[in-house]
Amino acid sequence: MNGRLKVSAFLAPLRTCFTEVYQWGYYNSMRHAPGQDESFLARLKEALETRGFYEIRTLPLKEVRLRLEEIPGDWGIPPALTGRGTLLMAAFPYTRPGEGSDASQPGDPHGLIAPFARRHYYQEAVTRMKGCLMDLGRQDKDVRLFSNSRLPEKPLAAAAGLGFYGRNGLLIVPGLGSRFILAGMMLPLSIGEASHPPLTDEPGAFCGSCRLCIDACPTGALDGFGNLDKNRCLQAWATEDTVLPDTLKNLWGKRLYGCEACQEPCPYNNAPIPDDPPITGELGSSVSIRLILEKGREGSLKSILKGTALGMAWMKPEVFIRNALLSAASAGEKALSDAARPYLHHKNRTLSETARQVMAALDSSD
């Protein structure tokens, strides 16, 4: 999700969307000779694949700086990415075959949750990585595990040869597509060389003449060269405590959180994905709009989002409520008027103004 690649432009929404999972594994250090390190790394990769990671790449830390310089964009190099050791980057799919998108019932319309937020995939990925290390008897206090962290994860993945950038600025893994999250390790291991060459091509280099993602964006936020206009991106606005411009409000649809419009038509996303659902933070594909509005009014919204990827630690409850109000307007069911009306007098201007617009829309619906 990177601009050309100013990844900060496309990644910023996601970085602020989730509680950051940036963890250290605290284990007793064990040192091995390079040959033993290579052997352990091979077993670790096999264990990760068994636990649902689709592709895994490794890179000596000493090569990270040089490779990042080849990736389009301007990346700061954190001190953690220098020195000895090995960087491991892995793709963890977040789709489930056959999963529906809307569990609405008559009289109870739902707002939609994008696939990447339906479960806590970031926490799940780190948990599974920890499990792999424990299964292999590796106990290194120097192993660093991360996912959705402040590290430049997508550029690191491209530098390690895990994937390339599409026209929409998203990282694409051949055979998997773009519907995955990244997780990584920094290991105190010595390897002779990287597992794969870097993928340093400009965004869209492997897309041919395809422009399906560009045409699918409802707001025209993509230019086809990996650049994102954040001011038009619905995903970027999903965490902003402000009243949406009319042009975006009218295109919001029933979204509660997340937008994958540019991923849905991508041919790379047609690859079959094994059904290996996480057990962490199950939220589902949609949530009752009425439930959110009522819980928000009671001040207990956190109770239905606790432990999920949408936990309120990183996003104000008012923002999620605003999204639910916008979804209510798109649902067009007057039965939601009683749940939306109390927000007309809310002290938060974003909610009161959005509620005013929603009530007008519901009152005029057939």
Mean pLDDT for the stretch of residues 115-120: 92
Q: What is the gyration radius of the CA atoms in the chain, in angstroms?
A: 22
Residue type, 211: R
Query: Distance between alpha carbon 20 and the CA centroid of its chain, in Å?
Result: 11
> pLDDT (tens digit, 9 = 90+) per residue, 315-363?
889 999 999 999 999 999 888 999 999 999 999 999 999 999 999 998 8
Tokens 């849905």, residue located: 264
Residue 199 inside a domain? The answer is no
Q: Is pLDDT of 20 > 80?
A: no
276 and 159 together in one domain: no
176 and 224 together in one domain: no
169 to 166, 278, 291: CA distances (angstroms): 5, 26, 35
173 and 229 together in one domain: no
Q: Could you give the CA distance from residue 2 to residue 240 in angstroms, rounded to a whole number?
A: 19
Conformational region of residue 220, where left means phi above 0, alpha means psi within -120 to 50, and beta covers everything else: left
183 and 138 together in one domain: yes
Q: Is pLDDT of 17 > 60?
A: no
Q: Give the range of the structural domain holding residue 178, as residue numbers without chain letter.
A: 7-98+120-187
228 and 163 together in one domain: no
Q: Could you give the CA distance from residue 136 to residue 132 in angstroms, rounded to a whole number?
A: 6
| pTM for the full predicted model | 0.85
256 and 164 together in one domain: no
* 222 DSSP 8-state letter: B
Q: Could you give the CA distance from residue 243 to residue 263 in angstroms, rounded to a whole number?
A: 26
Residue 111 inside a domain? The answer is no
Of 187, 202, 228, which marks where a domain is finished? 187
Residue 180 inside a domain? The answer is yes
14 and 129 together in one domain: yes
169 and 259 together in one domain: no
244 and 322 together in one domain: yes
> Per the structure, how many domains does the chain have?
2
Q: Could you give the CA distance from residue 180 to residue 182 in angstroms, rounded to a whole number?
A: 7
Query: 236: closest CA among 11, 75, 73?
Result: 11
- The percentage of residues in the chain with a pLDDT greater than 90, rounded to a whole number, is 62
Residue 256 inside a domain? The answer is yes
Q: Could you give the CA distance from residue 31 to residue 189 in angstroms, rounded to a whole number?
A: 8
Give pLDDT, residue 348.
95
Averaged pLDDT of the chain? 86
Residue 132 inside a domain? The answer is yes
Residue 276 inside a domain? The answer is yes
274 and 181 together in one domain: no
Residues 22, 146: contact at Cβ < 8 Å?
A: yes
- Who's near 174: CB < 8 A, 6+ residues apart? 163, 268
